[in-house]
Amino acid sequence: MDFRYVNNPDGAAWLDLHAAAYIAHPYRNPTIGWKSDMEKFNTKDAMRFHGAYYHPANAVAVLIGDISMEKAKQFAEVYFERYPAGRAAPETVTQEPPQGGPRRASVF
């Protein structure tokens, strides 16, 4: 578990908010996983996850300022061209069910 969540009241509230707001969609899960996920994670799991998702097909570059499309393409080539593209992550097809009433979460 990321310590920015567990050692920070705002972070704990954020986790509870997402867990309460989303019933089925993966947004309900923290990016790094739940504490129980991290306690069972090992180096082999981390390497497999990294190999599956950390490559240019899943990358997003945000360029801000007065930059032309040509310069942006050059930037992408310099930093990403040397890596194999990889496969894009599977699309999330889970549909969030309609909310039938209020949902509440408390952080103590």
pLDDT on residue 22: 92
pLDDT on residue 26: 87
Q: Are 87 and 57 in contact (CB under 8 A)?
A: yes
For the chain, the straight-line distance linking the first and the last C-alpha, in angstroms and rounded, comes to: 18
pLDDT tens for the chain, 108 residues long, are 455 666 777 887 888 888 889 999 988 988 778 888 888 989 999 899 888 888 888 888 898 999 999 999 999 899 888 888 888 888 878 889 998 899 887 766
Q: Are 30 and 15 in contact (CB under 8 A)?
A: yes
The residues, ordered by sequence, that sit 6+ positions from 80 with a Cβ below 8 Å of its Cβ are 56, 59, 61
Q: Are 21 and 29 in contact (CB under 8 A)?
A: no
Whether the pTM exceeds 0.75: the reply is no
CA of 74: how far to CAs of 13, 42, 55, 64, 68, in Å? 41, 37, 18, 15, 10
